Amino acid sequence: MAQEKRYEFAKKYKHHKWTRWVAMDMKWFYEVGAAGHEVEQDKQGPPLPPKLLFRAKTGETKTQGLKVMFMACVSEHKKIGLWEMKKEDWMKFKTKAGMTAKGIGAEYFITFIPKIKAAARKALGPGRIGIWIDNAKAHTAAAARAAFAKHFDDVVFQSPSSPEMNLLDAGVFPNMQAKVDEKNATTTAEIRAAVNAVWEEDITPEHLHNVANRVRRNMKQVESLKGGNWCKEK
Protein backbone atom coordinates (compact mmCIF):
# COMPACT_ATOMS: atom_id res chain seq x y z
CA MET A 1 0.00 0.00 0.00
CA ALA A 2 2.78 2.47 0.90
CA GLN A 3 4.59 1.66 -2.32
CA GLU A 4 1.44 2.31 -4.36
CA LYS A 5 0.93 5.66 -2.62
CA ARG A 6 4.52 6.63 -3.33
CA TYR A 7 4.06 5.78 -7.01
CA GLU A 8 0.85 7.81 -7.38
CA PHE A 9 2.29 10.73 -5.43
CA ALA A 10 5.49 10.85 -7.48
CA LYS A 11 3.54 10.65 -10.74
CA LYS A 12 1.32 13.55 -9.68
CA TYR A 13 3.97 15.90 -8.30
CA LYS A 14 7.10 15.12 -10.37
CA HIS A 15 6.97 18.59 -11.99
CA HIS A 16 6.01 20.47 -8.83
CA LYS A 17 7.54 23.90 -8.13
CA TRP A 18 7.89 25.20 -4.57
CA THR A 19 8.19 28.91 -5.44
CA ARG A 20 5.01 29.72 -3.46
CA TRP A 21 5.18 26.73 -1.16
CA VAL A 22 6.64 26.10 2.29
CA ALA A 23 8.38 22.74 2.54
CA MET A 24 8.45 21.90 6.24
CA ASP A 25 10.09 19.10 8.21
CA MET A 26 11.71 18.33 11.54
CA LYS A 27 14.97 16.58 12.36
CA TRP A 28 16.52 15.14 15.48
CA PHE A 29 20.22 15.56 16.08
CA TYR A 30 21.64 13.23 18.68
CA GLU A 31 23.92 14.06 21.56
CA VAL A 32 26.86 11.77 22.40
CA GLY A 33 25.90 8.25 23.47
CA ALA A 34 22.73 7.99 21.38
CA ALA A 35 22.23 5.15 18.89
CA GLY A 36 19.52 4.31 16.38
CA HIS A 37 18.52 4.68 12.74
CA GLU A 38 19.27 7.35 10.19
CA VAL A 39 17.95 7.81 6.70
CA GLU A 40 20.56 8.23 3.98
CA GLN A 41 20.16 8.96 0.30
CA ASP A 42 22.70 8.23 -2.39
CA LYS A 43 22.37 11.62 -4.05
CA GLN A 44 25.02 11.03 -6.71
CA GLY A 45 24.45 7.52 -7.99
CA PRO A 46 21.46 5.95 -9.76
CA PRO A 47 18.55 4.37 -7.90
CA LEU A 48 18.62 0.75 -6.91
CA PRO A 49 17.29 -1.80 -9.42
CA PRO A 50 13.49 -2.20 -9.59
CA LYS A 51 13.70 -5.60 -7.89
CA LEU A 52 14.86 -3.79 -4.75
CA LEU A 53 11.49 -2.32 -4.01
CA PHE A 54 10.19 -0.15 -1.21
CA ARG A 55 11.48 -0.87 2.31
CA ALA A 56 9.49 0.46 5.22
CA LYS A 57 10.97 2.69 7.88
CA THR A 58 12.44 0.95 10.92
CA GLY A 59 11.31 1.78 14.42
CA GLU A 60 12.82 4.64 16.38
CA THR A 61 15.18 3.40 19.07
CA LYS A 62 16.72 6.54 20.51
CA THR A 63 15.44 8.09 23.71
CA GLN A 64 13.89 11.54 23.59
CA GLY A 65 16.27 12.87 26.22
CA LEU A 66 19.30 12.57 23.95
CA LYS A 67 17.79 14.52 21.07
CA VAL A 68 18.14 18.10 19.91
CA MET A 69 15.20 18.96 17.67
CA PHE A 70 14.92 21.53 14.85
CA MET A 71 12.13 22.48 12.49
CA ALA A 72 13.09 24.05 9.18
CA CYS A 73 10.98 25.58 6.41
CA VAL A 74 12.12 26.56 2.92
CA SER A 75 10.69 27.35 -0.49
CA GLU A 76 12.33 26.62 -3.82
CA HIS A 77 14.42 29.80 -3.63
CA LYS A 78 14.15 31.16 -0.09
CA LYS A 79 14.72 30.21 3.52
CA ILE A 80 11.51 30.60 5.51
CA GLY A 81 12.59 29.81 9.06
CA LEU A 82 14.52 27.60 11.46
CA TRP A 83 13.23 26.89 14.95
CA GLU A 84 14.66 24.81 17.78
CA MET A 85 11.98 22.72 19.49
CA LYS A 86 13.11 22.45 23.07
CA LYS A 87 12.32 19.56 25.38
CA GLU A 88 11.38 21.88 28.25
CA ASP A 89 8.73 23.43 26.00
CA TRP A 90 7.09 20.29 24.59
CA MET A 91 7.00 18.71 28.06
CA LYS A 92 4.62 21.47 29.17
CA PHE A 93 1.94 19.75 27.08
CA LYS A 94 -0.06 16.67 28.04
CA THR A 95 -0.99 13.57 26.07
CA LYS A 96 -4.63 12.56 25.59
CA ALA A 97 -4.19 10.29 28.60
CA GLY A 98 -3.12 13.26 30.71
CA MET A 99 0.53 12.23 30.89
CA THR A 100 3.50 14.55 30.35
CA ALA A 101 4.45 14.53 26.68
CA LYS A 102 7.64 12.60 25.89
CA GLY A 103 7.99 13.98 22.39
CA ILE A 104 6.52 16.38 19.84
CA GLY A 105 2.75 16.12 20.03
CA ALA A 106 0.13 17.91 17.95
CA GLU A 107 -0.77 20.30 20.78
CA TYR A 108 2.79 21.61 20.90
CA PHE A 109 3.39 21.42 17.17
CA ILE A 110 0.41 23.57 16.20
CA THR A 111 1.82 26.51 18.19
CA PHE A 112 4.40 26.81 15.40
CA ILE A 113 1.95 26.94 12.49
CA PRO A 114 1.09 30.68 12.84
CA LYS A 115 4.84 31.39 13.13
CA ILE A 116 5.50 29.45 9.93
CA LYS A 117 2.76 31.34 8.10
CA ALA A 118 4.05 34.73 9.32
CA ALA A 119 7.60 33.87 8.26
CA ALA A 120 6.37 32.61 4.89
CA ARG A 121 4.38 35.76 4.24
CA LYS A 122 7.43 37.88 5.07
CA ALA A 123 9.68 35.84 2.78
CA LEU A 124 7.27 35.23 -0.11
CA GLY A 125 5.11 38.36 -0.05
CA PRO A 126 1.42 38.59 -1.01
CA GLY A 127 -0.37 35.79 -2.80
CA ARG A 128 -1.30 32.19 -2.23
CA ILE A 129 1.00 30.10 -0.05
CA GLY A 130 0.90 26.32 0.22
CA ILE A 131 2.57 23.99 2.69
CA TRP A 132 4.24 20.64 1.93
CA ILE A 133 4.61 18.28 4.89
CA ASP A 134 5.17 14.64 5.73
CA ASN A 135 2.87 12.22 7.53
CA ALA A 136 4.23 12.47 11.07
CA LYS A 137 1.44 11.95 13.61
CA ALA A 138 1.83 15.47 14.97
CA HIS A 139 1.27 16.83 11.45
CA THR A 140 -1.74 14.72 10.53
CA ALA A 141 -3.69 15.01 13.79
CA ALA A 142 -7.10 16.65 13.43
CA ALA A 143 -6.01 19.81 15.27
CA ALA A 144 -2.95 20.20 13.05
CA ARG A 145 -4.94 19.63 9.86
CA ALA A 146 -7.41 22.32 10.94
CA ALA A 147 -4.58 24.75 11.70
CA PHE A 148 -2.93 24.11 8.33
CA ALA A 149 -6.24 24.67 6.55
CA LYS A 150 -6.76 27.93 8.46
CA HIS A 151 -3.35 29.43 7.72
CA PHE A 152 -2.44 28.05 4.26
CA ASP A 153 -4.20 28.15 0.92
CA ASP A 154 -3.04 24.69 -0.14
CA VAL A 155 -1.87 21.71 1.92
CA VAL A 156 -0.05 18.63 0.59
CA PHE A 157 0.89 15.66 2.75
CA GLN A 158 3.69 13.57 1.29
CA SER A 159 3.14 9.91 0.65
CA PRO A 160 4.35 7.69 3.54
CA SER A 161 8.07 7.03 4.04
CA SER A 162 9.25 9.38 1.31
CA PRO A 163 12.15 11.49 2.61
CA GLU A 164 13.53 11.94 -0.90
CA MET A 165 10.37 13.86 -1.82
CA ASN A 166 10.96 16.64 0.73
CA LEU A 167 13.38 19.52 0.17
CA LEU A 168 14.64 19.37 3.75
CA ASP A 169 15.50 15.67 3.75
CA ALA A 170 16.90 15.82 0.22
CA GLY A 171 19.32 18.70 0.65
CA VAL A 172 19.11 20.71 3.87
CA PHE A 173 19.20 18.32 6.80
CA PRO A 174 21.97 16.17 5.26
CA ASN A 175 24.17 19.30 5.11
CA MET A 176 23.43 20.04 8.74
CA GLN A 177 24.18 16.47 9.79
CA ALA A 178 27.44 16.57 7.85
CA LYS A 179 28.48 19.73 9.72
CA VAL A 180 27.53 18.20 13.06
CA ASP A 181 29.66 15.17 12.20
CA GLU A 182 32.53 17.29 10.87
CA LYS A 183 32.61 19.37 14.06
CA ASN A 184 32.13 16.27 16.22
CA ALA A 185 29.32 18.18 17.90
CA THR A 186 28.19 16.16 20.91
CA THR A 187 26.39 18.69 23.13
CA THR A 188 23.27 20.77 22.60
CA ALA A 189 25.32 23.97 22.31
CA GLU A 190 27.72 22.45 19.76
CA ILE A 191 24.89 20.95 17.70
CA ARG A 192 23.00 24.25 17.78
CA ALA A 193 26.08 26.13 16.54
CA ALA A 194 26.72 23.67 13.70
CA VAL A 195 23.10 23.64 12.53
CA ASN A 196 22.80 27.42 12.59
CA ALA A 197 26.09 27.84 10.71
CA VAL A 198 24.80 25.72 7.83
CA TRP A 199 21.48 27.55 7.82
CA GLU A 200 23.14 30.96 7.66
CA GLU A 201 26.02 30.19 5.30
CA ASP A 202 25.15 27.25 3.07
CA ILE A 203 21.40 27.30 2.42
CA THR A 204 21.41 29.81 -0.42
CA PRO A 205 18.75 30.44 -3.11
CA GLU A 206 20.93 28.59 -5.62
CA HIS A 207 21.30 25.64 -3.27
CA LEU A 208 17.55 25.43 -2.67
CA HIS A 209 16.82 25.56 -6.40
CA ASN A 210 19.28 22.72 -6.98
CA VAL A 211 17.64 20.72 -4.18
CA ALA A 212 14.21 21.28 -5.74
CA ASN A 213 15.53 19.96 -9.05
CA ARG A 214 16.92 16.94 -7.21
CA VAL A 215 13.55 16.23 -5.61
CA ARG A 216 11.84 16.41 -8.99
CA ARG A 217 14.40 13.94 -10.35
CA ASN A 218 13.82 11.75 -7.31
CA MET A 219 10.10 11.65 -7.98
CA LYS A 220 10.63 10.72 -11.62
CA GLN A 221 12.86 7.86 -10.48
CA VAL A 222 10.32 6.74 -7.88
CA GLU A 223 7.70 6.73 -10.64
CA SER A 224 9.97 4.66 -12.88
CA LEU A 225 10.43 2.18 -9.99
CA LYS A 226 6.65 1.97 -9.50
CA GLY A 227 6.97 3.35 -5.99
CA GLY A 228 10.30 1.74 -5.13
CA ASN A 229 13.06 3.77 -3.56
CA TRP A 230 16.81 3.88 -3.10
CA CYS A 231 17.01 5.17 0.47
CA LYS A 232 19.07 3.12 2.90
CA GLU A 233 17.42 3.05 6.33
CA LYS A 234 19.25 1.67 9.32
Lowest-confidence range among 56-60, 76-80, 107-111? Answer: 56-60
Q: Distance (Å, rounded) from C-alpha 214 to C-alpha 165?
A: 9
pLDDT at 141 over 50: yes
pTM of the model: 0.83
Task: Tell me what pLDDT residue 110 has.
Answer: 94
- Of 17 and 52, more confident: 17
CA-wise closest residue to 199 among 66, 28, 73: 73
Task: Tell me what pLDDT residue 54 has.
Answer: 44
- Mean pLDDT (whole number) for 168-192: 93
Task: Tell me what pLDDT residue 32 has.
Answer: 63
- Mean pLDDT (whole number) for 108-123: 96
User: How far is residue 72 from each of residues 3, 34, 56, 106, measured CA to CA in Å?
Assistant: 27, 22, 24, 17
Q: Give, as one character, the DSSP assignment of residue 8.
A: H
Q: Distance (Å, rounded) from C-alpha 165 to C-alpha 215?
A: 5
Query: How many CB atoms within 10 Å of residue 70?
Result: 21
Task: Tell me what pLDDT residue 231 has.
Answer: 53
pLDDT at 14 over 50: yes
H or E element in which residue 48 lies: none
Buried b (16+ CB within 10 A) or exposed e, 137-160: ebbebeebeebbeebbeeebbbbb
Q: Distance (Å, rounded) from C-alpha 87 to C-alpha 194?
A: 19
Lowest-confidence range among 44-58, 112-126, 138-152? Answer: 44-58
Residue 72: give the domain boundaries: 2-36+44-233
Residue 159: φ, ψ to 5°: -65, 160
Buried b (16+ CB within 10 A) or exposed e, 2-23: bbebbbebbeebbebebebbbb
Lowest-confidence range among 6-10, 60-64, 71-75, 207-211? Answer: 60-64
Task: Tell me what pLDDT residue 84 has.
Answer: 95
CA-wise closest residue to 183 among 198, 172, 201: 198
pLDDT at 130 over 90: yes
User: How far is residue 196 from each of residues 58, 87, 157, measured CA to CA in Å?
Assistant: 28, 18, 27
Q: Distance (Å, rounded) from C-alpha 132 to C-alpha 22?
A: 6
Task: Tell me what pLDDT residue 91 has.
Answer: 79
H or E element in which residue 73 lies: strand 67-74
Residue 226 CA to its chain's centroid (Å): 23
Total structural domains within the chain: 1
pLDDT at 53 over 50: no
H or E element in which residue 152 lies: none
**Secondary structure (3-state) at 134:** coil
pLDDT at 102 over 80: no
CATH number, position 76: 3.30.420.10
pLDDT at 36 over 60: no
pLDDT at 62 over 60: no
The mean predicted confidence, pLDDT, of the chain is 84
pLDDT at 233 over 50: no
**Is 214:170 a contact under the CB 8 Å cutoff?**
yes
